[in-house]
Structure 1
Amino acid sequence: MAEKHPAPRVGLFVTCLVDLFRPTVGFAAVKLLEDAGCTVEVPSAQTCCGQPAFNSGDRRTAQELARNTIAAFEGFDYVVVPSGSCGGQIKKHYPELLADDPAWAARAQRLSARTYELVSFLADVLGMTDTGARYDGTVTYHDSCSGLRELGVKEQPRRLLASVEGLTLNELPGAEVCCGFGGTFCVKYPDVSNRMVEAKTADIQGTQADTLLAGDMGCLLNMAGKLKREGSAIRVRHVAEVLAGVTDTPPIGEKA
């Protein structure tokens, strides 16, 4: 008889934007992970990953938030994040932030080694090839900067989307070009940010897709807001919602 291995114990880092603006993404992430055989927990002690403070040069606050996250997620086999930007902060920047702290440097490195963006974890670690979902529509996909450049998330969502029944993917010209959100960038440089998202939404409209997908809520909120202001009927969703078949809620930016 084949040896049975215990289910991977996953700590889900929900992210601030998912928690406050789109809890459905968190539920979709849990469904995907549990369907893949994982045991999922959401530590109540988690807060912000510290990325806004880090990007603004507030190193002390970023370090405090990093220590809180590390303490909250120690003991899990993996930490999974439905966001390339928050995932990149934990995986890439925590070791840098705490490198000079003897009490925390090794703990930051250990957490980094166990942290993955959601779709990358499903495809690369668990070897998932089919989520069993259905989505009747034509979608296009935006590659969020942090997920793409810091974590190498590019082909994984496309591989899984190819398994979704009824779905057609029309590739987005300039899919790797920033949408203009950039965390605090859109606050510090609103005019530049607006021109960037205008170019992005023009490309999105050109795909003739009815749905825009991405893996990072910051980008999705930015693009959904611009599309709505332009009067577009394109629906906007987090890729996890489509992969999990959790699409009974209104698209991002629309009220129930």
Structure 2
Amino acid sequence: MKVSLFVTCLGDLFFVNASKATVELLEHLGCEVEFPKAQTCCGQPTFNSGYHEQTREVAKLMIETFDHAEYVVSPSGSCAYMFHAYEDLFEEDDVWREKARKLKEKTYELTQFIVEVLQVTDVGATFEGTATYHSSCHMTRLLGVKEAPFTLLNNVQGLNMIDLPNRSDCCGFGGTFAVKMSSISGEMVEEKAEHIESTDAQYLIGADGGCLLNIGGRLHHNGSEVKVLHIAEVLNNRG
């Protein structure tokens, strides 16, 4: 099975190990992975800021970049959802709306792809430690991926998962929200950090770079010893 990796901006700049782990994990599961070099930002920052005309230009580039792909897989639920949102951007353009629909139908978040397409619930990972998991807003509420991460994590040998209090609460990142509403965002991520600390977990696991960057920054600021990991890094660990 051929997979085109949509690595995302944050994956490229801040979560290189998670990006590498994504490739290795997919190859371990029998996929042939390619990386289209023309890919760029998905356009979510401009879209969320109301610049839809500019976002349409980005969307056209990404649609063309992944036109040949059998499947598109991303280690970010938020960015994978943005591909799904392209269809609405072209509601008055039948040609591009159809192209966007085809991209939407073949685009998956990493854990969603593993569980729903590959039909795998145990990737053979081993990871010693106690962890809790942050459920990101876009991935759960918009993309609809809720159980796949837990299905895979619960089958990791040696990993003890602890439920995160109010895990469905937003961490306060929200892309441009963290910039425009920084004081509110700061209070939200502080509350999230307190909930994480209350679990006594060694690790915080997540599937969205933006959330992990935001939460990890606050935990570090607070002097916390909790380590932040992308789920791909855990699932790719062979002990």
Could you state the TM-score of these two structures normalised by the residue count of structure 1?
0.91
Matching residue within 192, 199, 222 for 2:214:
222
Q: CA deviation at 1:132?
A: 1.3
Residue in 2 aligned with 1:175? 167
Q: What number of residue pairs does the alignment pair up?
A: 239
Q: Give the letter for the 1:135 counterpart.
A: F
Alignment pair present for 1:83 and 2:76: yes
Write the distance in 2 (CA, Å) between the matches of 1:102 and 1:161. Answer: 41
Residue in 2 aligned with 1:117? 109
Say whether the 8 Å CA contact 1:26–1:82 is kept in structure 2.
yes
Say whether the 8 Å CA contact 2:126–2:238 is kept in structure 1.
no
Write the distance in 1 (CA, Å) between the matches of 2:166 and 2:116. Answer: 25
What is the SS of the residue equivalent to 1:103?
helix
Q: Give the letter for the 1:209 counterpart.
A: A
Matching residue within 8, 13, 38 for 1:15:
8
What is the SS of the residue equivalent to 1:245?
coil
Write the distance in 1 (CA, Å) between the matches of 2:122 and 2:52. Answer: 41
Say whether the 8 Å CA contact 1:28–1:246 is kept in structure 2.
no
Q: CA deviation at 1:196?
A: 0.3
Residue in 1 aligned with 2:179? 187
Write the distance in 1 (CA, Å) between the matches of 2:238 and 2:200. Answer: 23
Write the distance in 1 (CA, Å) between the matches of 2:222 and 2:72. Answer: 38
Residue in 1 aligned with 2:57? 64
What is the SS of the residue equivalent to 1:123?
helix
Instruction: Return structure 1 stretches of 4+ with deviation > 6 angstroms.
Output: none
1:166-203 CA deviation, whole Å, 9 max, x = no partner? 10000101111000000000000000000001110000
Matching residue within 182, 196, 209 for 2:188:
196
Q: CA deviation at 1:228?
A: 0.5
Write the distance in 2 (CA, Å) between the matches of 1:100 and 1:20. Answer: 35
Matching residue within 129, 133, 137 for 1:137:
129
Write the distance in 2 (CA, Å) between the matches of 1:100 and 1:51. Answer: 20
Structure 2: any 5+ residue segments left out of the alignment? Answer: none
Write the distance in 2 (CA, Å) between the matches of 1:80 and 1:74. Answer: 13
CA 194–246 in structure 1, closer or farther in 2 if over 3 Å, else same: farther
Write the distance in 2 (CA, Å) between the matches of 1:190 and 1:161. Answer: 32
Say whether the 8 Å CA contact 2:164–2:199 is kept in structure 1.
yes
What is the SS of the residue equivalent to 1:11?
strand
Residue in 1 aligned with 2:33? 40
Q: Give the letter for the 1:104 counterpart.
A: W
Q: Give the letter for the 2:67 counterpart.
A: E
Say whether the 8 Å CA contact 2:73–2:113 is kept in structure 1.
yes
Residue in 2 aligned with 1:234? 226
Q: CA deviation at 1:246?
A: 7.7
Could you state the TM-score of these two structures normalised by the residue count of structure 2?
0.98
Q: Give the letter for the 1:168 counterpart.
A: N
What is the SS of the residue equivalent to 1:160?
helix
Alignment pair present for 1:149 and 2:141: yes
